[in-house]
Structure 1
Amino acid sequence: MNLPLDPDQVVYGFNTSSLIKASAVLYPMDNFPSLWDEIEELIRNGRLKMSEPVFDEVMWGAVLRDWCSEKGLKPFLLSKVDDSVENAFQTIQSKYPELMNVKRGTSLADPWVISLAMRYPKGVVVTEEQPTGDLVNPRIPDVCKDLSVECVNIAGFVSRENWVF
């Protein structure tokens, strides 16, 4: 399933940094199992999605790779790159070319995070990146702000879902 049944539902597009930082530093799975149960439920309900380039980056980390594999989450996580996502990606790539600057250490998957969120009426990007305030050398939050796409960090995501642990 690629789209949630209810168009009023928020769909989250996670950046690799959020999941890696959450699983390794902020909210390790062994210490916060109920958080990861909630995240799994969002995934299974089609409310947390990734495009293939982002998923591939997430799979570099053993903890997340094992968790996704054990839970069988890949088919629920992956969102098909349709024309709307591809068009948004092309727009982002041409308008913000430095978003994908390997020399600066930015990810080639960053535009996919934003373009996927733009696919959904209530798409929200989740990233741990901090804005630069500079659209010449932007990070994900800068581009999201310029394109009017909501962008939160992992703590903001938890708050947005009204989760209490």
Structure 2
Amino acid sequence: MYLFDADTLIRADNTYYPLNRFPVFWEWLQFSGEAGFIKIPLEQYEEIIAGNGRLVDWLKTEDVKAALLFDEEAEPAHVTEVTERGYAHDLDEAEQEAVGKDPFLISYGFADMGDRCIVTFEVSAPSKQRKNRKIPDVCKDLGISCGTIFDVIEALDFTTDWKP
């Protein structure tokens, strides 16, 4: 299962596959969500819908929300472990605010490392420390699979002539 970071959908719409130009891509995402291959954790979903625009409108439609929203709550112990091992055990409030909801996203991958992959556009920056760590580096350190939307497209064999 591929678990999407908020930036994955935001950048896909803004840069690579705008909803108004590539509707087949977004139909495929919805279909893949219904099939259980792609999901968006609640924390990342809420991050996106706090904004506005066509992506927000699309995500708020009941059928899309039902297809893509991950129906699982983050395990507090996993969030704590991801935060402490992936970022630092002594983050202050400002650092926790800067890290945001990333530990929640990563914790879902941590809960089932053999079957889940975190999907983000963040780029590895191994020299970054504490609140500045990037999702791919935290995932690597914790043994969690991590990739980009392009990896998902390849793995699930999406093409622009896709049909359900």
Answer yes or no: is the 8 Å Cα contact 2:117–2:144 preserved in 1: yes
RMSD: 2.4
Out of 124, 127, 133, the position equivalent to 2:120 is 127
In our comparison, the structure showing a higher alpha carbon Rg is 2
Read off the aligned partner of 2:36 and give its amino acid letter: G
1:81 is matched with 73
Answer yes or no: is the 8 Å Cα contact 2:19–2:55 preserved in 1: no
Q: 1:102, 1:130 → 2: CA distance?
A: 23
Equivalent residue runs for 1:1-165 within 5 Å: 11-59=1-49, 60-76=51-67, 77-81=69-73, 85-97=75-87, 106-120=98-112, 121-134=114-127, 136-137=129-130, 138-165=133-160
Q: Which runs of 5+ in 2 are unaligned?
A: none
Read off the aligned partner of 1:33 and give its amino acid letter: P
1:73 counterpart SS class: helix
Q: 2:96, 2:125 → 1: CA distance?
A: 13
Flag the 1:88–1:63 CA change in 2: closer, same or farther, 3 A.
same
Answer yes or no: is the 8 Å Cα contact 2:86–2:142 preserved in 1: no
Q: 2:94, 2:124 → 1: CA distance?
A: 18
**TM-score, normalisation: structure 1:** 0.79
Q: 1:62, 1:24 → 2: CA distance?
A: 11
Read off the aligned partner of 1:70 and give its amino acid letter: T
Answer yes or no: is the 8 Å Cα contact 2:4–2:41 preserved in 1: no
Flag the 1:57–1:41 CA change in 2: closer, same or farther, 3 A.
same
Read off the aligned partner of 1:134 and give its amino acid letter: S
Aligned residue pair count = 152
2:61 counterpart SS class: helix
Q: 1:106, 1:28 → 2: CA distance?
A: 28
Q: State the 1:80 CA deviation.
A: 2.0
Q: 2:64, 2:94 → 1: CA distance?
A: 29
**TM-score, normalisation: structure 2:** 0.80
Flag the 1:96–1:117 CA change in 2: closer, same or farther, 3 A.
closer
Read off the aligned partner of 1:69 and give its amino acid letter: K
